[in-house]
Structure 1
């Protein structure tokens, strides 16, 4: 048995412990078995209740579209947990006129069993890939050959496992050309590479399949699907040896210098990229999440423990090929401090140097999403995807300038950093871990953004600005924020200004020795997750907010602790483990899931949730992904009746000799497979569109 194949069976501590369809292989390769270890947040800060409630209001704010930098003026937004009424005074005119009028209507699909190897879409729709793992990007790129892969070939081809995606139009193309951005979160060489390959060669292929991709798209008209353009001038791969500029206060600090980079400003590669965001000035943000699983460290320092860095050999064993992945080697003690940042990429300049922004803090970033405050400052919301970790907000020092792209591309390099503290307004006895609503009929309360760095100075006793930004988790522990159930995607609505915090799950909450339920995290053993809705007090740069739970997820038929903003439970699609979210043109929320419904093991999918009116909280399933896959990177072009998703890690639990999926290159019904053809699942970005378009 090859080293690559053997690794699969020796690194599965989550085997027998995962819930629903979550694969122990995914746990090993994606997040280094985070849930198998002890909780790394052992700080004593807890949850503080404030029974008194206040009526909060918010002023107008400016929101911007993904790439067009078109301002949307918002009126006052609802702050209560009560469902909005259509046309009610709590909504901005844009939201009031738009909610419920999406052009993309569909009949929700029934939940699909997890073992089904198919992409299931609503009646009247079909799907096809935009681009797949291994597709050639450049004129000199070889065609994908599964049986004859090389690291050199992979470096010129589309990478593996796409999480965040976005499509930005190319100016002057009359909606017929665009750029697609994707990141490549992690690889699974067990199903990618034949067992006969040399282990070092397999590692090289895996490294080359990490990183980011920008690729041009084209279509005949708005009613036709997109195709990628091989050899287009904007096509680009970002690899593990691509140089990133570190910006902000930590740039050049002794905490980030290594023997290979004594400047502390030039970092090679980006790792564990999860979700992201698109800025008003047309750049892409990508979050470095589970970077710890790529490094061997001493594992003894407070920072090592807080960031889950250990002395164990890694799953991929890159430390055998490159000394920087073993930080015990002379001169590389700080290499891990160079990962865990928000990355910014200019997809319209293939010669540009991507940036890592130290001012936005270092932790397991799920992503970052931006909105412009009424004051003109840029505000970014960020989740730390770890059990019992925190929600963060960044507010830029300087202000956004309409049309000044060069200036706006500096806005994330300096500013204030905050972490969230939530306070519930119900008596402690009513939050008992069952998910039962308190007497006032809602999980809700107020909150405060606690300062970490303000005005260029540290707000944390005993820590410098550089230390706060490099060791952000340790700094946050000192100021008493609220421990959350794995904040993943955090998105502000550009129609209402409300912020949606996706808490995917936390099956450790309430276990002996671990924090119990709180009003903002109301269930013990929270396997299905929930979504928090935040309304800032004042504009987005405010330090206070109101909050309520939009959803407490699960299958209502199996789990009585579910809640859908008061919408009848028997009329919703079951949903669990929310992960990535996006908005359509009228402001409704679309949710991609990862790992559930845990109670009965359905396939993951994409779901639409109405946010206002009589149907607030209504969940409708739009699609389901294939066997052992995760739904990622939703893009909703409802005005064109088109939806995009990234299908990540299909057939994750198979092996090269025993594949569990053949997505997306299925053999058509009735056709005979080509004799001797070698096939494997290929993670891909797909588009779903009407069959009569």
Structure 2
């Protein structure tokens, strides 16, 4: 498809790169406009970077205690830029995959240039097609989508709004699979004709448009193209902000939470377990609640730490007019039933989804799993807000590949950890160091004085404050590479930081460069505006261990900017990249990155980058998404023949309305419809290669 020209381009209504004020309000209640809720004073990752070189003399003098306990020798044993190109190999699923640097694993796709087009732009030799869009039928009996006759009941059976995290799980028929997707939030001004529905109907439609979808898809011939199976399936399912959930884990016994909850909303990224269930992270839940009177004083500290309102407040959605759960003056404990990881079994459409309290309550970006050396399950977790932390859970029980049902409940028993980072002080020209996972609680014992197990899990931010965890720059997706075993963590940005940190060799992120307009000059701004990606090597390449080595793999931004860094690769040969959000891997272990809030003037997109070999750090733009949209996902199919991208909030500018949209993508209607697309090579080869 040839890219279409933008029907209406407005320079009004962007506040952080490609993000509008409206997007910030609806996604996260404008969290960047408020003080960081973390007032602990714990060391920030910027300070760790700033002192990364200053500790060299201490280490040279033999002060092994300067390194984090348990990993004092790790930095010496793990090269910062270890080359896996000749030795590394791995497997994913049931098949072996080539190591880094081999001919099949080389990223050879052409580069998509930065642009502001109102379409998905793909490399030469590739095609793309929409698989499913907002309003398409999901459950049996769903009516044909009609925005002028939309009802809450219809929306509850149709594909929800603003698709985010996307996962594909297999079926017995290799030509079919199940797509599972989050629906993060709604924008009723773009969704619905102005004045067409009354306030209560709008609220009910919004509740029904949140949550998750399970949809059967089918391959088109032998190509890499997939499409919605229009015959439907018994697996097809909608989960909304009103669906009944079982609450599991230690906090379910606490009166603040209880054993039953209703609805999931604000769902961002997620993960898939080895037994095929989907994990979904409830992120910016605080912006959904109203306060019409007072709230209990005993909850004020917890509310404040999570950005939950404590004084009379009306959210932009005002769901409380149709559901009193969302009025904290009437139901003050409802806020404690949000902010969890939820687990959905896509193969059992009648099974009640669960909220997993053992994984802690926070603004979850996602939850990605791996198997430890001794067969247990580790889950990596990011708390997506300025100044928040990185977490990991390790199960007590072991994964049983031969008995799927025995694995249910593994995520209810184990230990929850938070990360602390330390600079190693080596003058190696890199920003690196060591770290440790500090235990917060197990399912049976709290390690925080004065806090019970339930207290720690419900107020995990407060628990992490107490142990001196390292504050981060919006930790989002954190995933383990299936080939080299390293963990990659996307730190999207921190636009309100920088004032107290000098710009020098040891601290490249105190200021960064942006473009006020597409094609305009680079302008220096305070704060880490473009984000970065950390690379972690856990002790013994074992996710169960508590020690790790870290290095700054990418400092994102324009290659022409002084502060940027691309794994040591030649900066004149890389694509500009801004605000990394989610990460994924292909079968060769190459890193795929989606962006959210590009501050370099162009549309967001998906980028590829080798993590080892001679081209380590060579960032190349693989695709761009339409104007005003965020690139969610990404996901690479098991056979590496398809790249999936979830296009969220196309055309969401401050001045856009249903009648006067800033985007009409995917160009099936006169208004935008968030949708999931697949991208494949015309010759049916491996994507990227």
Q: What range describes the TM-score normalised by the shorter chain of this pair?
A: 0.7 to 0.9
- 1:265 maps onto 2:259 in alignment: yes
Aligned to 1:419: 418
Instruction: After TM superposition, give the deviation of residue 106 of structure 1 in Å.
Output: 4.6
CA contact (8 A) 2:97 2:587 kept: no
Q: Secondary structure at the match of 2:271?
A: strand
Question: Structure 2 CA distance, aligned partners of 1:647 and 1:613?
Answer: 32
CA contact (8 A) 1:137 1:157 kept: yes
- 1:564 maps onto 2:566 in alignment: yes
Instruction: After TM superposition, give the deviation of residue 319 of structure 1 in Å.
Output: 1.4
CA contact (8 A) 1:86 1:96 kept: no
User: Relative to 1, partners in 2 of residues 1:103 and 1:480: Cα closer, same or farther, differing over 3 Å?
Assistant: closer
Question: Structure 1 CA distance, aligned partners of 2:429 and 2:153?
Answer: 59
TM-score (norm 2): 0.86
Which residue, 670, 675, 684 being the options, matches 1:684?
A: 675
Question: Structure 1 CA distance, aligned partners of 2:664 and 2:14?
Answer: 26
Instruction: After TM superposition, give the deviation of residue 627 of structure 1 in Å.
Output: 0.5
Matches within 5 A, 1:64-143: 79-82=78-81, 84=83, 86-87=85-86, 97-102=99-104, 106-114=108-116, 116-143=117-144
CA contact (8 A) 1:102 1:585 kept: no
Matches within 5 A, 1:172-571: 173=173, 175-197=174-196, 198-223=198-223, 225-230=225-230, 231-256=232-257, 264-297=258-291, 301-310=300-309, 311=311, 312-329=313-330, 332-426=331-425, 439-454=427-442, 456-511=444-499, 522-524=509-511, 525-538=527-540, 539-557=542-560, 559-571=561-573
User: Relative to 1, partners in 2 of residues 1:398 and 1:660: Cα closer, same or farther, differing over 3 Å?
Assistant: same
Question: Structure 1 CA distance, aligned partners of 2:324 and 2:610?
Answer: 50
Question: Structure 1 CA distance, aligned partners of 2:205 and 2:605?
Answer: 29
Which residue, 22, 36, 40 being the options, matches 2:37?
A: 40
Instruction: After TM superposition, give the deviation of residue 148 of structure 1 in Å.
Output: 1.9
Q: Secondary structure at the match of 2:434?
A: strand
The count of corresponding residues between Structure 1 and Structure 2 is 623
User: Relative to 1, partners in 2 of residues 1:371 and 1:490: Cα closer, same or farther, differing over 3 Å?
Assistant: same
Aligned to 1:25: 22
Instruction: After TM superposition, give the deviation of residue 113 of structure 1 in Å.
Output: 2.7
Instruction: After TM superposition, give the deviation of residue 355 of structure 1 in Å.
Output: 0.9
Question: Structure 1 CA distance, aligned partners of 2:362 and 2:101?
Answer: 35
Aligned to 2:579: 577
Question: Structure 2 CA distance, aligned partners of 1:478 and 1:278?
Answer: 31
CA contact (8 A) 1:424 1:519 kept: no
CA contact (8 A) 1:567 1:618 kept: yes
Question: Structure 1 CA distance, aligned partners of 2:625 and 2:580?
Answer: 14
Instruction: After TM superposition, give the deviation of residue 224 of structure 1 in Å.
Output: 5.3
Question: Structure 2 CA distance, aligned partners of 1:203 and 1:460?
Answer: 41
User: Relative to 1, partners in 2 of residues 1:304 and 1:279: Cα closer, same or farther, differing over 3 Å?
Assistant: same
Aligned to 2:524: none
Q: Secondary structure at the match of 1:368?
A: strand
Question: Structure 1 CA distance, aligned partners of 2:244 and 2:101?
Answer: 44
Aligned to 2:8: none
Instruction: After TM superposition, give the deviation of residue 414 of structure 1 in Å.
Output: 1.2
What CA deviation, in whole Å up to 9, does each residue of 1:80-137 have, x standing for no partner?
222526315x7779787344444685533343333x2111001111111110000012
Question: Structure 2 CA distance, aligned partners of 1:592 and 1:100?
Answer: 24
Instruction: After TM superposition, give the deviation of residue 292 of structure 1 in Å.
Output: 0.5
Question: Structure 1 CA distance, aligned partners of 2:509 and 2:466?
Answer: 24
CA contact (8 A) 2:289 2:320 kept: yes
Aligned to 2:687: none
CA contact (8 A) 2:592 2:607 kept: yes
TM-score (norm 1): 0.85
Question: Structure 2 CA distance, aligned partners of 1:113 and 1:162?
Answer: 23
- 1:611 maps onto 2:608 in alignment: no
Instruction: After TM superposition, give the deviation of residue 342 of structure 1 in Å.
Output: 0.6
CA contact (8 A) 1:276 1:368 kept: yes
Question: Structure 1 CA distance, aligned partners of 2:108 and 2:679?
Answer: 12
Q: Secondary structure at the match of 1:337?
A: helix
Q: Secondary structure at the match of 1:388?
A: coil
What CA deviation, in whole Å up to 9, does each residue of 1:622-647 have, x standing for no partner?
10000000000111137453211000
CA contact (8 A) 2:248 2:356 kept: yes
Question: Structure 2 CA distance, aligned partners of 1:488 and 1:535?
Answer: 18
User: Relative to 1, partners in 2 of residues 1:489 and 1:640: Cα closer, same or farther, differing over 3 Å?
Assistant: closer
Question: Structure 1 CA distance, aligned partners of 2:191 and 2:413?
Answer: 41
Aligned to 1:657: 659
